[in-house]
């Protein structure tokens, strides 16, 4: 959980769950799964959440929900308190978490 901006936790659909279960079975059969074994019934009966970040472009205002895992990969925590990604609409490196967007935009009024 990052310190300077919020993330969203969204429950995955049952289709998504089934797809993950298929991936798990395939990985097990092919000896590509290295984690602890998963109890399939427990897996199917509990709610599973994915973590997302709502990003907004400081330049053009384009909003996009992106998986936190992906954001985290592209974010150098030593360089900056928050990730700065390329905006999929205008292509500029100005896409930041929405909390950061609001903080930066509000400076205009100070």
Which residues would be at the binding site for Zn ion (CB under 5 A)? 57, 59-60, 62, 87, 89-90
Nearer to Zn ion, 87 or 100 (CB): 87
Question: Please, what is the minimum distance in Å from the beta carbon of residue 86 to Zn ion?
Answer: 9
Nearest distance, CB of residue 85 and Zn ion, angstroms: 10
59 or 99: CB nearest Zn ion: 59
Contact 105, 97 (CB under 8 A): no
- Evaluate whether 82 touches 54 at the Cβ level (below 8 Å): no
| CB of 76 vs Zn ion, minimal distance in Å | 21
Beta strands in 19-62 (DSSP E): 49-57
For Zn ion, give the closer residue by CB, 56 or 75: 56
CA distances from 61 to 21, 58, 91 (A): 37, 6, 12
């Amino acid at each position: 959980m990052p310190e300077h901006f919020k993330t969203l936790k969204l429950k995955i659909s049952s289709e998504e769950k089934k797809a993950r279960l298929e991936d798990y079975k395939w990985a097990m059969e092919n000896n590509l799964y290295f984690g602890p074994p998963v109890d399939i019934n427990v897996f199917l009966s509990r709610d599973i959440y994915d973590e997302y970040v709502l990003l907004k472009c400081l330049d053009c205002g384009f909003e996009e929900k992106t998986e936190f895992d992906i954001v985290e990969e592209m974010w150098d925590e030593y360089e900056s308190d928050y990730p700065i990604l390329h905006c999929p609409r205008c292509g500029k490196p100005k896409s930041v978490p929405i909390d950061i967007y609001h903080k930066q935009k509000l400076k205009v009024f100070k």
